[in-house]
Amino acid sequence: MTQVSLAKDRIKFLLLEGVHESAVEILKQRGYHNIEYIKTALTEDELCSKISDAHFVGIRSRTELSDRVFAAAEKLIGVGCFCIGTNQVDLQAARRHGVVVFNAPFSNTRSVAELVLAEIIMLLRRVPEKNAAAHRGGWDKSAAGSYEARGKVLGIVGYGHIGSQLSILAEQLGMQVRFYDIESKLPLGNAHAVGSLDELLQQADVVTLHVPETAQTQWMIDAPQLAKMKKGALLINASRGTVVVIDALAEALRSGHLAGAAIDVFPVEPGSNNEVFESPLRQLDNCILTPHVGGSTQEAQENIGVEVAGKLAHYSDNGSTLSAVNFPEVSLPAHHGARRLLHIHENRPGMLTRINQLLAEQSINVSGQYLQTDADLGYVVIDIDTPAESDIADTLLDAMRAIEGTIRARVLY
């Protein structure tokens, strides 16, 4: 357990994977200038040494924050995923270490939907093969295997923020949209839900995947699922690289069972733009390969930078965990004229009683108290009235830290 009640210039932000400069601007506007900015992802070993003095870390989809990294991150209080997916973070380990994790749940969703829409048209028109041939001096002027999108069946797996936006866009092109989701979802426009993944695979001319990485979605599309797809169908994956078994897809493309594919995410992705991209799909002209850029537009990245940096600064300044992905959510008013104590603890009986006993013993007036718990974690925020020159908040903090079951405690001045 570590003390984090510092002047802003001593609170360190480690920003990785070239997050948009809007993040840096927001942090500076909020008074945080101690920022280390790195353009690439780091390996676990590199992270373990870099993260040891960071209070906040900002990552994208490539940086793995494992239990070992959290154990090495002694001062860490918050993680910002400047993206949607949080599968790269061990969220349980973060909780055990009292580290709050935020993300940007929808800022890049339109960008992904637009890319997929473009890929549907390109694949239906056999542009990848014709483009590759033309670059080699070929001239394949033929309508064989080329189709309009109008009237074709688009099968969307995962009808969340991205899948549902794509649904609307694809209907504008005259596609018939069907989707499969494990949750009950409102079908937009004329789209309709089907009862199982197999049904969707059997019906669709184009299948596109928009699910998160979970135990259930891992290797969800393997040889048996590909075999269920219509002959000549198309597959698009801009979700996570672990959803599709690449060797099985390569075989389906080679055999001609699938006419084409567009893949943006891979089981193993390079950590920087200087590394070589390896994949059996490199050999296949009927496959559009993009380097995990579904969400990489100027608009999306700038908005994500503002959104996530804002959430981190707000947590640092105010203690609010609103919209955190791994923590009890507490939305807090500003704490003008009070000191704010933040206490993260294991959810054991009597925790709040013990904290309040400490306050009562010191005859401290509490002007606000906010508690939120879940099955095994509690987060309590206490505003106390103390004269500016008093060091009672520090004394209290030490006493609160001594309570068994405390994970982390800090004070906001």
Ligand X SMILES: O=C(O)C(=O)COP(=O)(O)O
Ligand Y SMILES: NC(=O)C1=CN([C@@H]2O[C@H](COP(=O)(O)OP(=O)(O)OC[C@H]3O[C@@H](n4cnc5c(N)ncnc54)[C@H](O)[C@@H]3O)[C@@H](O)[C@H]2O)C=CC1
Write the CB contacts of 176 (distance below 8 Å, at least 6 apart in sequence).
151, 152, 153, 154, 190
Rule CB under 6 A: say whether 178 interacts with ligand Y. Answer: no
The DSSP 8-state label assigned to residue 276 in this structure reads P
Binding flags for ligand X, 74-113, as an x/- string (CB under 6 A): --------xxxx----------------------x-----
Residue with the closest Cβ to ligand Y? 160
CB atoms under 10 Å from CB of 117, counted, come to: 21
- Exactly one of 110, 161, 178, 240 is catalytic; name it: 240
Q: Does position 12 bind ligand Y by CB under 6 A?
A: no
Q: Which of 18, 368 has the CB closer to ligand Y?
A: 18
Answer whether 41's CB lies under 8 Å from 62's CB.
Answer: yes
Closest approach of ligand Y to the CB of residue 164, in Å? 8
Tokens of 300: 């999306």
Shortest Å, Cβ 214 to ligand X: 13
Using alpha carbons only, give the angle 197, 201, 202 rounded to the nearest 5 degrees: 120
Q: Which does 214 bind (CB under 5 to 8 A by kind): ligand X, ligand Y, none?
A: ligand Y
292: annotated active-site residue = yes
Which of 8, 30, 62, 68: binder of ligand X (CB under 6 A)?
Answer: 62
Q: Which of residues 186-215 bind ligand X (CB under 6 A)?
A: none
- 12-51 mask for ligand X (x: CB under 6 A)? ----------------------------------------
- H/E stretch holding 356: helix 351-361
By CB under 6 A, is residue 270 in contact with ligand X? no
Asked if 242 interacts with ligand X (CB under 6 A), we say no
- The rounded distance, in Å, linking the Cα atoms of 116 and 162 is 10
Instruction: With beta carbons less than 8 A apart as the criterion, state whether 324 and 86 touch.
Output: no
Near ligand X by CB under 6 A: residue from 296, 297, 367, 373:
296
Instruction: Confirm if 237 and 231 have CB atoms less than 8 A apart.
Output: no
Q: How far is CA 238 from CA 16, 191, 198, 213, 227, in A?
A: 22, 20, 20, 11, 20
Of the pair 296, 373, the CB lying nearest ligand X is at 296
Q: Does 207 bind ligand Y (CB under 6 A)?
A: no
Query: Would you count residue 71 as binding ligand Y (CB under 6 A)?
Result: no
- Which of ligand Y, ligand X, none does residue 163 bind to, with CB < 5 to 8 Å depending on kind? ligand Y
Q: Is residue 135 annotated as part of the catalytic site, yes or no? A: no
Backbone angles phi, psi at 44, to 5 degrees: -60, -40
Q: Is 295 in the site for ligand X (CB under 6 A)?
A: yes
Annotation marks residue 269 as catalytic: yes
Which string of x and - marks every residue 246-285 that binds ligand Y (by CB under 6 A)? Answer: ------------------xx--------------------
Please say which residue, 271 or 368, places its beta carbon nearer to ligand X.
271
Contacts of 221 (CB under 8 A, 6+ apart): 209, 235, 237, 243, 244, 245, 248, 249
* Pure H helices in 174-221: 197-203
> In the sheet where 100-102 sits, what is the strand order?
35-37, 13-15, 56-59, 78-81, 100-102
Given the residues 60, 97, 126, 292, the one annotated as active site:
292
Residue choice 152, 178, 230, 292 for contact with ligand Y (CB under 6 A): 292
Distance CA 305, CA 208 (A): 27
Q: Per rule CB under 6 A, is residue 216 in the interface with ligand Y?
A: yes
212 binds ligand Y (CB under 6 A): yes
Should residue 369 be labelled a site residue for ligand X when binding is judged by CB under 6 A?
no
Site string for ligand Y, 312-341 (x = CB under 6 A): ------------------------------
Residue 297 lies near ligand X (rule: CB under 6 A): no
Can you tell me the distance from the alpha carbon of 173 to that of 211, in angstroms, rounded to the nearest whole number?
A: 23
The catalytic position among 114, 171, 269, 346 is 269
Place of tokens 């033309």: 134
Are 373 and 343 a contacting pair, CB within 8 Å? no
CA dihedral 389, 391, 394, 397 (to 10 degrees): -100
Residues that bind ligand X (CB under 6 A): 60-62, 82-85, 108, 292, 295-296
Catalytic residues: 240, 269, 292
**Which residues sit at the interface with ligand Y, rule CB under 6 A?**
84-85, 108-109, 112, 157-163, 180-183, 210-214, 216-217, 238-240, 264-265, 292, 294-295
